[in-house]
Amino acid sequence: MKKKKGWLSLLLAAGFLVGGCSQGNNESAAPSSGSGNEGTPSVTDNGSKDGSPLAPAKLKIVLYGDESNRMKELAKTGFYDVIKKEINAEVEFHFLPWTEYGGGKTDLMLSTGEDFATYTDANYMVKSVAKGLYADLTPYVSAAADLSTNVDEASFKAFQLDGKQYAIPVGNKPNSAEFYSALVRQDLLEEAGMTQVTSLKELEQFYDKVHAIHPELIGYANTDARRILQYDYTDKNLYWQNDFIALDESAKDDKIISWFETEEFKKYANLMRGWYEKGIIPKYAATNVPQLQSDWNSGKAMFWAGTAARPFEGAATISQAVPEAKLVNYFLGSGRPKISRGTYSTAFFVSTAAKDPERYVMFFNLLQKNQELYDLFAYGIKGTDYTVDENGRLTKINTDSLIPDWLLMNKNFIRFDKTVPDEFIAEYKAWDDGAIISKGAGFNFDNTPVKNEETKLNGVFTEYLAPIGSGFSDYDTAFPKALDRLKAAGIDKYIAEYQKQFSEWYAKQK
């Protein structure tokens, strides 16, 4: 706890130094007071740092996906009452389709000056900050004092640019080796007479045996398996910064890798071509990728890319269609440490048009403040939406989604359903044991010098490289033309600029 307070105080000190010149057009935002060496100020319920009453405020929180009926009810009742009591604010929860995340309607709301907050990733943050669309939250981090004790320090650093905090991270969960494991339908595996899958050969054998029993099922419910198959096409411990750039985490240097120009990509693409021709990736995936997700959710697929939490997150959905479904993570190799980007689920930004950025940060703080509030936002009203037994196991009375489970997930507060085995919970909590933080964690690329090249490269990726990497196109036939397009779009300039910025940042981490 003391360590947390120490790093937070240092961040606050930096915030107070820049706070006077970083308010932008937020004249109505209450400035932070005090200095970094005063420690972390506390925020009283329905009061400011100095204990004075907070003026009423209205906030707009954008979430993505479908809004359930119970969420609509609680937004007007249980959530409303607690938020009003805690920070004297009224919150409008506004849901958008996932297609609007990181662009679309979200960008429109930002560019037209709407007062709202929603979540972001690091790449979207960099682009938006460059356009002046995100509020600098550094002066207001003290309003997230409770959250900062329950969210890792590295997660805060991941959303900083030039020492300024542009988004507040939420969540604290095992995140290492995301999508590097194969999430297998264990019930199908056992039906096929197998007990485990620890290699590519065994995974393909699993597909063959289940396909003979259930020809109506598809194999892999995705088009990207570069992480899962890494043990078969490279000796490096690759970790991707974006679609174009990877790092070798086993090398103690700052060298970045132009992924599509490697022999590893060629080997990987040929593996995926084999899966596509074999039928492990269904033929319809070439024109209808969203159907893969639907098939997985309805129990019509054999395996998916795994994470620490997916065995119980995925089972909750699939079991509605296939009650006997059981999911288990398997790595198709061993001997390489798991790589983590940090333990956060996501991070909330506040638009520069917001009248009261600090009140938004106070709201973020409520999401990870204590067990009582976590239970409310994640599970609803005790006795009405859920019950908890003497062992802390959860039973949902109402299965409607509230604030998304994945967003809030914090290992300090999460409650497991009675159906989750004790051994899985132990495995989940120990998932990050021995993991290492990526050497690129916290680095955020400024694409301004190569913005035009990046736009062109993204077009080449969509039209040429993604189909090759998914196995839809044959590497030997399609790659020469794709490489020509990649070069013409400016991949060399892009790589050089990325390497320059990364090397400068990497040197400062020593």
The pLDDT assigned to 149 comes to: 95
Average pLDDT over every residue of 227-232:
96
Compare 130 and 28 and report the one with higher pLDDT.
130
What is Dmax (Cα atoms) for the chain?
Answer: 70
In the block, tokens 């690091």 appear at 122
Q: 53 pairs with which residues across the strands? A: 47
pLDDT band at residue 462 under the 50/70/90 scheme: very high
Task: Enumerate residues 6+ apart whose C-beta is below 8 A from 277.
Answer: 471
In the block, tokens 């209450």 appear at 30
pLDDT at 175 over 60: yes
> Roughly how many angstroms between the first and final C-alpha of the chain, as a whole number?
25
Task: Enumerate residues 6+ apart whose C-beta is below 8 A from 205.
Answer: 194
CA angle 347, 110, 443 (to 5 degrees): 40
Average pLDDT over every residue of 320-333:
92
The pLDDT assigned to 406 comes to: 87
SS3 341: coil
Does residue 379 contact residue 396 with C-beta atoms inside 8 Å? yes
C-alpha 330/C-alpha 180 separation (Å) is 9
Reported pTM: 0.76
Return the closest-CA partner of residue 404 out of 137, 68, 13, 10: 68
Average pLDDT over every residue of 186-214:
98
pLDDT band at residue 49 under the 50/70/90 scheme: low
pLDDT band at residue 447 under the 50/70/90 scheme: confident
Return the closest-CA partner of residue 428 out of 322, 339, 310, 321: 310
17 burial level (CB within 10 Å; 0-12, 13-18, 19+): middle
Return the closest-CA partner of residue 334 out of 195, 434, 194, 413: 434
Does residue 122 contact residue 159 with C-beta atoms inside 8 Å? yes
Task: Enumerate residues 6+ apart whose C-beta is below 8 A from 201.
Answer: none
Domain extents in the chain: 2-41+53-173+343-412, 181-340, 448-509
pLDDT at 425 over 60: yes
pLDDT band at residue 444 under the 50/70/90 scheme: confident
> Which runs of E-coded beta strand occur in 65-104?
89-96
pLDDT at 438 over 70: yes
Kindly report, residue by residue over 275-315, the tens digit of the pLDDT.
999 999 999 999 999 899 999 999 999 999 999 988 887 77
Q: From residue 170, give the alpha-carbon distance in Å to each of 25, 52, 144.
A: 26, 27, 10
Kindly report the number of other CB atoms within 10 A of residue 171's CB atom. 24
pLDDT at 123 over 60: yes
pLDDT band at residue 429 under the 50/70/90 scheme: confident
Compare 366 and 126 and report the one with higher pLDDT.
366
pLDDT at 176 over 60: yes
For 10, list phi and psi in degrees, rounded to 5.
-65, -40
The pLDDT assigned to 162 comes to: 84
User: What percentage of the chain exceeds 70 in pLDDT?
Assistant: 90
Task: Enumerate residues 6+ apart whose C-beta is below 8 A from 341.
Answer: 158, 175, 178, 437, 438, 441
pLDDT at 98 over 80: yes
The pLDDT assigned to 423 comes to: 87
The pLDDT assigned to 342 comes to: 85
pLDDT at 208 over 80: yes
DSSP letter (8 states) at residue 383: T
Does residue 165 contact residue 136 with C-beta atoms inside 8 Å? yes
Q: From residue 124, give the alpha-carbon distance in Å to each of 111, 266, 316, 327.
A: 14, 29, 30, 32
The pLDDT assigned to 421 comes to: 85
Kindly report, residue by residue over 356-403, the tens digit of the pLDDT.
999 999 999 999 999 999 999 999 999 999 999 998 999 999 989 999
Question: Looking at the domain that runs over 2-41+53-173+343-412, which CATH code has it been given?
Answer: 3.40.190.10
pLDDT band at residue 236 under the 50/70/90 scheme: very high
Do domains 2-41+53-173+343-412 and 181-340 share one topology? The answer is yes
Does residue 351 contact residue 115 with C-beta atoms inside 8 Å? yes
The pLDDT assigned to 51 comes to: 60
pLDDT band at residue 48 under the 50/70/90 scheme: low
User: Would you list the DSSP string of 405-445?
Assistant: HHHH-BTTT---BTTS-HHHHHHHHTTTTT-EE-TTTT---
Average pLDDT over every residue of 36-63:
65
Range with the largest mean pLDDT of 47-61, 157-171, 475-489: 475-489
Question: Looking at the domain that runs over 181-340, which CATH code has it been given?
Answer: 3.40.190.10
DSSP letter (8 states) at residue 493: H
In the block, tokens 């859920």 appear at 386
Determine the length of the chain: 510
C-alpha 171/C-alpha 159 separation (Å) is 14
